[in-house]
Each structure stands twice: as C-alpha cells, then as structure tokens.
Amino acid sequence: MRKLGNTGIAISALGLGTWQFSNGGNFIGGYWDALPAERMRDIVAAALDSGINWFDTAQAYGNGTSERNLARALLDAGRQPGDALVATKWWPVLKTASHLRATIDERIACLQPFAVDLHQVHQPLSLSSVEKQMHTMADLLEAGKIRSIGVSNFTAKAMAKADDVLRARGHALAANQVRYNLLARQIERNGILQEAKARGITIIAWSPLEQGMLTGRFHRDPASMAKLPWMRRQALAFQKSRLVKSLPLIETLEQVAASHDASVSQVALAWLVHSHGDTVVAIPGASSVAQVQQNAGALHLRLSDAERNAIDEAASAF
C-alpha cells in the first residue's frame, strides 16, 4: 500500500485503469471494444480479490460511460462504498474552471454510490489558468464533493504551480497522472519525476505497458496487431519499426521473468512501481480476468538491483 500524495488515502501500488469500460463510446472510448457487463463485473472483482483497491476512470471515457459501468460493476460484484476507491477526471479542453464546478454533480451521479476519492484535471488544456482550476478544485474539496485533487499530463512547472496554489489554501496536490513506462521515460528527464519526489506528489503512470507493447505479445506475433480496434492500430506504439527497436528490451524482460517464474508484463510493472520508492503507482487496464490477475502479480514481485540495472540498460534507448 502507498499513501496518495500528502493525503491520508492509502492506495495499492497498482490500480485498475477502466478506459476499457467505455463501451466504445465517443472518439476516446473507441480505442477499445465494448465489454459485456458480466466481464466488467468479473474484472473488478478479480482486481479487488488480487489486492488492488482503486480504480481510475474519466468523464471522457465514453462521456461518463466508463464511470457508470465501473459503479455498476462494483455493485454487481457485491461491493459497497468504502470497499474500493475511485479516481476520475474532468475533461477541460476548451472549457473554463466554471465547467469543472458545473459538472462535478454529474461525476458524482455517474459514480454513485461510490465517492470521488481523487478528482483530476485530465489535460492541461483548459481556457482557465492553473490557478483558477486549482481554486475551483479546492472549493469542491472544502464542500465535501471530492476527497483529493490531482492533475494529469501536467509539466513539472504546471504541476508545481498547482501544488503551490493548493498549499496556499491549506491543501496539497495529490497526484500527477502521466505516461510512464520502460518505452516512455521522458518524466525522468523533464523534471516531472524529480519535482514530484521533492513535493511528495504521487506519479500515476498511465499506459504502463504501452498499450500491450511491453507484454511481448506483438513481438511474438506481429500479425495479432491486425485484430486490434482501428484507433489502437494507428497508435505510434504499434508501428513495426518500434517493435524492432524494443526487441532487445523484451528479451531482457523475458530473461528476468524466467528467473522469477513471472511474465514479461509483471516484470515491466514491478520495475515501474518499485524503482522510485513509493512515488510511482500504475494503472494498467484489463479486458479479461486473466489480464488483471496477471498484472496484480507484479505487486508481489521484487527485482534485484542487478536485474533493475539490466532492464535500465536495455531501455536506455527510450
């Protein structure tokens, strides 16, 4: 378990991303095929049974569809408020901070009876300043609408500004959700990771398996990419040239995995959540019970310093 930022909220090192719960709705939700309600229920139950205690969703994932499906899956799995924590996100593109205030009741309604334990600004693309967004978030926190405040995809400078504004109100920024994995290590170089460690801000790594690239599946069977939804096939991560470039890393992960009787994805996730103390947590998604159970196995996998160094070296090109 980890402390979420400087809050009193305890989260597991792995959460479950529920972008896949969008039912293929809207442009963003179209990355994934629709899942049956029973499958979503079983995925959520398996996550909780495996030691995962929180779920990440968003307004943009099917215009609230993922939020509603997550709440229904939790209830169908026999869970009640307090049994699981939920993080969601406000979609700020071409919106002002007033829209954040106007839509919070919609977020609460979509997730009911579960609380908004972490509310995040999904992108740094609001028409309002970071200062106005954070003051609005602080108002929601003080009104009891949300339990903690986060941002997503914010630069080190914007993240620090958000934290400064909140601290002036007697609060603190809990998290910055950013892309981070062995094939996307920019936050180690652009100041985000360093600033987060200094301020006690949790880094939530989205796409921690690079949409499946770090499972080794597409290296073993490149033709399987043709079975993916169209939007995922177009993603940069699945270009054939990147498969070739990342093959040495996958081979190193396979060697480490074999020594632990683990999977490639478990090793990749373990490297991510155990290489920076308690600062980094990750939210791999899952489209099946087997996937969430396998991912959760990374919670119990510990890599040696030599193994981490070998993985770092193999991923140095990224």
Return the active site residues.
61
285 bridge partner residues:
17
CA 247 to CA 203: how far, in whole Å?
27
Which secondary-structure segment (H or E) carries 86?
strand 85-90
CA 274 to CA 131: how far, in whole Å?
33
C-alpha distances in Å from residue 269, one per residue of 39, 53, 199, 231, 253? 23, 17, 24, 24, 11
Pairing, β 10-11 against β 2-3 = antiparallel
Contact 44, 77 (CB under 8 A): yes
Contact 298, 14 (CB under 8 A): yes
181 bridge partner residues:
184
